[in-house]
Amino acid sequence: MLILHKTTCFNLTLMAISMLWTTALGAETLEYDGLIEPCLIVDIGAPAEGIVATVTVERSSPVKKGDILVELESSVEQAALEKTKAMAAFDGEIRLQQTQLAFARRVHQRVKQLAAISTHDKDLAETEITRTVYRLKKAQESHTLATLELKKAQAVVALRAVKSPISGVVVERYVSPGEYVNSQPLLRVVKIDPLRIEVIVPARIFGKINPGMTATIAPELPEYGEQTATVTIVDKVIDAASSTFGVRLELPNTKHTMPSGMKCLVRFEINDDTGEKSTTTALITPDPA
């Protein structure tokens, strides 16, 4: 039997209580501190340099994927776009060559039927058809290039509008209208549906927590109540210095009612492989003195 002083006995009792986990019929409940975070954090930059014309959102603004967040000054790009639109719409040269080709074919048909026409003239009429076919092809190629230039101009103008790559909430706004931007971030947007819970657990339970398992999440703000989260990632490498490994869980937050950034308790129900009840006890006997 272990004999301890009263002070040591009291300290060990507190330690035993703090390390105690509840068990029942082959399962043990383990609780660890966790942190509720956004599942994705994006610092949105500008795809092109320029001067900010408008910022359409503020901090805490909800956004959807594809929403325009920032617009850069684009007068020069808009003018170039209008020019290429006009050039792509022009088809006069194509119509001219089509008319010329039809005329050359009619002339060739008439020439073939006339016996008095020399072979040279007949060959000349046939050659004119071939030349007109190539002129028509060149006009069509020029029209194709004008269409591609239009697409390029549209893409350049599109780069002046910065769109949100995700649905979420704006948490930081770094720029205002009139500022010149190059490579610096413009806004920070986070995705909070689902939420992500990160928890560090001891190495002794490695292999007992696996992706797909569920756990109970108790946020530090009690008004949000207990939630059920699903394990998505379990680290495959144990940290040697702390003898721990990381676990990530996913918590649905479709209505965006729960904020991220809160601490929480993560409660795992671990099944005992032996199927027997698992217990932890400490026997402490006070000093008779």
Tokens of 123: 């060959």
**pLDDT for residue 111:** 84
Write b or e for each residue in 199-220: b if 16 or more Cβ atoms lie within 10 A of its Cβ, otherwise e.
Answer: bbbeeeeeebbeeebebbbbbe
Q: Say which amino acid occupies 76.
A: V
Say if residue 240 is exposed, middle or buried (CB neighbours under 10 Å; 0-12, 13-18, 19+).
Answer: exposed
**pLDDT for residue 228:** 95
**pLDDT for residue 272:** 62
**pLDDT for residue 273:** 54
Answer whether 5's CB lies under 8 Å from 166's CB. Answer: no
**pLDDT for residue 54:** 97
Give me the phi and psi of 168, to 5 degrees please: 175, -140
Task: Write down the residue that tokens 């272990």 correspond to.
Answer: 2
d(Cα 92, Cα 86) in Å, to the nearest integer? 12
**pLDDT for residue 17:** 35
**pLDDT for residue 28:** 85
In terms of pTM, does the model score above 0.85? no
Task: Write down the residue that tokens 């495959």 correspond to.
Answer: 236
Cα of 155 vs its chain's centroid, Å: 21
Tokens of 169: 């909430």
69: number of Cβ within 10 Å: 21
d(Cα 283, Cα 13) in Å, to the nearest integer? 9
* 54-to-57, 58, 69, 162 alpha-carbon distances in Å: 9, 12, 8, 10
Answer whether 42's CB lies under 8 Å from 18's CB. Answer: no
Query: For the chain, how big is the Rg over CA atoms in Å?
Result: 37
Tokens of 24: 């029942």
Tell which residue, 218, 272, 202, has the closest CA to residue 27. Answer: 272
**pLDDT for residue 10:** 38
Q: What does pLDDT average to in each consecutive run of 10 residues of the chain (289 residues)?
A: 42 37 61 95 94 96 96 95 93 92 90 80 88 94 94 94 95 96 94 96 94 95 94 96 96 92 93 44 37
**pLDDT for residue 176:** 95
Q: Say which amino acid occupies 144.
A: T
CATH 2.40.30.170 fits 24-42+190-273, yes or no: yes
Answer whether 39's CB lies under 8 Å from 168's CB. Answer: no
Answer whether 253's CB lies under 8 Å from 194's CB. Answer: yes
Tell which residue, 197, 215, 228, 177, has the closest CA to residue 57. Answer: 177
